[in-house]
Amino acid sequence: MRTKFDGWPNVIYSQQFSRRWIEQQFLPLTDEMERIFRRGGCDLLKGKGMISFFYEPSTRTRASHEVAMRRLGGDVIFSTENAREFSSAKKGETFEHTIKVLCRYGPNVIVIRYDHEIGAEFAAKVSNVPIINAGDRAPGQHPTQELLDLRTIFKHRGEIDGLNIAMVGDLLNGRTVRSLSYLLGKYKKVTIYYVSPGPLMMKDDVKEYLRRHGVLVKELTDLREVASKVDVIYQTRTQGECGAVFDRRNQELGYFMVNREILDLMRKDAIIMHPLPCVDEITREVDDDPRAVYLTLQIDSGTFARMALLKMILAPKA
């Protein structure tokens, strides 16, 4: 069980954000950040420095945080990925010592991806600068991903209330679907369809949280049953690094692929999302469909969301 966490200016869990903050501060600021990005950036964070320290490989999360920092005029003063292999962690250095050492280099913020749950929360307890959780493992959370996902849905639909969404695949180990579920619990008349094989179903703690907050939760094993009903299909990969294994081609387990058959069932105004990387859960023919936003709007929202968070943390009065 996780310990109590006080929150801002650290970004650790989706639960720490209120709907009012999201709608009145965060979302409008992402639009401002988009305008700044399109103009080529600004010097709002000039003189500010970020350390990007990842214990697991990353493309989008690491790149977008670093791009966001530089587009706002700040500096990435140190960056590494797969730190479990390419830092003193391989020699046995404790996580606490690593964070304390990084703080001595004078960053204004540390973005960290840890390969165990509550890593970011622990880092925040020993750090003297803000910590941004870039994804905890097993199953953990990924709050900045879900803020960008929420922005993606909002930019497409204009609202979150009344959303019907199918979350598909390895829901047991997926940190993104956990965090997004927590955020959706803040909205009204939301229905979530969890589509997964029996052994990889969403954990009960999340489902109980959603039911307490009035979200309708339905579980099934065939995406075709709901593809025509939902506003969003949120596809996920199988988390092999967590030991998850299932063959999507084995229809005795169910139907968890997004392909031409699913496209034909979907509404014209629905969208397909994916936190990426995508392996075999979406066929390549889907990429060019205008409803597939995981290589377009969703990626853009990642940059603008992280620019907004960095601005709010490092220059709240600017």
Q: How confident is the model at residue 6 (pLDDT cuts 50, 70, 90)?
A: low
Residue 2: what pLDDT? Answer: 37
Least confident of 38-52, 98-112, 168-182: 168-182
pLDDT tens track for 205-231: 999 999 999 999 999 999 999 999 999
Q: How confident is the model at residue 238 (pLDDT cuts 50, 70, 90)?
A: confident
SS3 label, residue 316? coil
Quick check: is 7 in a domain?
A: no
What CATH number is associated with residue 50? 3.40.50.1370
Quick check: is 9 in a domain?
A: no
Quick check: is 5 in a domain?
A: no
Quick check: is 128 in a domain?
A: yes
Residue 76 has pLDDT above 90, yes or no: yes
Residue 257 has pLDDT above 90, yes or no: yes
SS3 label, residue 76? strand
Residue 125: what pLDDT? Answer: 94
Residue 243: what pLDDT? Answer: 55
User: 33 and 149 share a domain?
Assistant: no
Report the greatest alpha carbon distance in the chain: 57
How far does Cα 223 stand from its chain's mean position? Answer: 22
Cβ-contact 213, 186 below 8 angstroms: yes
SS3 label, residue 52? strand
Cβ burial, residue 176 (10 Å; 0-12/13-18/19+): buried
User: 137 and 203 share a domain?
Assistant: no
Quick check: is 3 in a domain?
A: no
User: 203 and 238 share a domain?
Assistant: yes
User: 46 and 166 share a domain?
Assistant: no
User: 269 and 310 share a domain?
Assistant: no
User: 153 and 111 share a domain?
Assistant: no
Average pLDDT of the chain is 92
Residue 91: what pLDDT? Answer: 85
How is the beta sheet containing 216-220 ordered, strand by strand? 216-220, 191-195, 164-168, 232-235, 271-273
Residue 241 has pLDDT above 70, yes or no: no
Overall domain count for the chain: 2
pLDDT tens track for 111-162: 999 987 788 999 999 999 999 999 987 668 999 999 999 999 999 999 999 9
How far does Cα 301 stand from its chain's mean position? Answer: 11
Mean pLDDT over 185-202 rounds to: 95
User: 168 and 91 share a domain?
Assistant: no
User: 103 and 202 share a domain?
Assistant: no
Helix ranges (H only) for 14-115 are 19-21, 27-38, 60-71, 83-86, 95-103
| CA distance linking residue 177 with residue 300, whole number of Å | 19
Mean pLDDT over 48-52 rounds to: 98
User: 151 and 220 share a domain?
Assistant: yes
Domain range spanning residue 269? 143-294
Active-site residue list:
60-61, 91, 113, 142
Residue 242 has pLDDT above 70, yes or no: no
* CA-closest candidate to residue 64, choices 309, 315, 299: 299
Share of the chain above pLDDT 70, in %: 94
Instruction: Work out the end-to-end distance of the chain between its first and last CA atoms, rounded to an integer number of angstroms.
Output: 38
pLDDT tens track for 258-292: 999 999 999 999 999 999 999 899 999 999 999 99
Residue 4: what pLDDT? Answer: 42
**More confident site: 93 or 64:** 64
SS3 label, residue 258? strand
Quick check: is 228 in a domain?
A: yes
Q: Describe the chain by its helix, strand, coil percentages, rounded to 5.
A: 40, 15, 45
User: 197 and 102 share a domain?
Assistant: no
| CA distance linking residue 228 with residue 164, whole number of Å | 11
Quick check: is 266 in a domain?
A: yes
User: 173 and 211 share a domain?
Assistant: yes
Residue 244 has pLDDT above 90, yes or no: no
Residue 5: what pLDDT? Answer: 47
Least confident of 1-10, 36-45, 148-157, 302-311: 1-10
Residue 240 has pLDDT above 60, yes or no: no
Residue 3: what pLDDT? Answer: 37
* CA-closest candidate to residue 123, choices 98, 104, 106: 98
| CA distance linking residue 84 with residue 86, whole number of Å | 6
Share of the chain above pLDDT 90, in %: 78
User: 172 and 216 share a domain?
Assistant: yes
HSE (side-chain half, CA atoms, 13 Å) at 232: 31
* CA-closest candidate to residue 186, choices 21, 297, 313, 11: 21
Quick check: is 2 in a domain?
A: no
| CA distance linking residue 97 with residue 120, whole number of Å | 14
Q: Rounding to the nearest 10 degrees, give the CA dihedral for residues 257, 114, 122, 106.
A: -130
Q: What residues are paired with 207 via a beta bridge?
A: none
Tokens 């995508």 correspond to what residue?
278
Residue 239: what pLDDT? Answer: 66
